[in-house]
Amino acid sequence: MSDKPQMIRPRNTMLERLGGRPGVPGKIDASLLKKAEDRIAEVGATYPDRVKIDLEKLVALAGQAASDADRRAEAITSINLIVHEIRGEGATFGYPLLTKFAGSLFKFTDGLTSPTERQLALIKAHVDAMTLVVKSGIKGDGGAIGAEVDQMLAIAIEKYAAPHKP
């Protein structure tokens, strides 16, 4: 690699192969876009069954974190990995509240190694809220039920994340 900064224009063979022309924006068949949208809806329909497996793992890991001090850090790292995936998947498959709660738990567990009892309780509250979203099939913002679950978790966060008062 030369020390001098260089600007390189790689040959673009894709455009021509796919039927496009340089400088002219191409189109994608609208019927294919519709099929792809329908496919998301189809895959989304099976998502609750898939994510239930992850939620069961989260319940077990939250239990492990609470009861096994030696494996606590390991359990929280695993929780962090799982909720990172769920926060990306939830809204994709029509469950934005799941993404919201998973994102909140992801931030809360990121770098957390020695949680207090209150922090462990907050992890459990998140897992419970996520389980409720899936069990109750709360899609979109979930309307009144969604707002209620959201509020419940907000109260739990306020209760458990606040500094402990003796």
Partner 1 sequence: MVGSTYNFKALSVLLVDDAKPMADLLGSILKELGVGKITTHADAKKSMDLLDSIAQMQAAGTPVVDIVISDWRMEPISGVDLLKWIRNHPSDGIRFMPFIMLTAYSDNARVMAARDAGANEVLAKPVSVHNLVRRLLSVIENPRPFVSCPTYFGPDRRRKSIPINFPDRRKTSPR
**Residues contributing to the site for partner 1 (CB under 8 A):** 1-12, 14-15, 17-21, 24-29, 32-33, 35-40, 42-43, 47, 50-51, 81, 84-85, 87-93, 96, 99
For the CB of residue 146, give the shortest distance to partner 1 in the complex, in Å: 17
For the CB of residue 164, give the shortest distance to partner 1 in the complex, in Å: 29
Of 112 and 120, the one with the shorter C-beta distance to partner 1 is 112
Of 11 and 164, the one with the shorter C-beta distance to partner 1 is 11
For the CB of residue 22, give the shortest distance to partner 1 in the complex, in Å: 9
Q: How far is CA 132 from the centre of its chain?
A: 15
Between the two ends of the chain, the Cα-to-Cα distance in Å is: 62
d(CA 79, CA 70) in angstroms, rounded, equals 16
For the CB of residue 117, give the shortest distance to partner 1 in the complex, in Å: 29
CB-CB contact of 129 with 149 (8 Å): yes
113: amino acid identity, one letter: T
d(CA 154, CA 134) in angstroms, rounded, equals 18
Of 88 and 143, the one with the shorter C-beta distance to partner 1 is 88
Of 24 and 162, the one with the shorter C-beta distance to partner 1 is 24
CB-CB contact of 89 with 51 (8 Å): yes
Assign 94 to helix, strand or coil.
coil
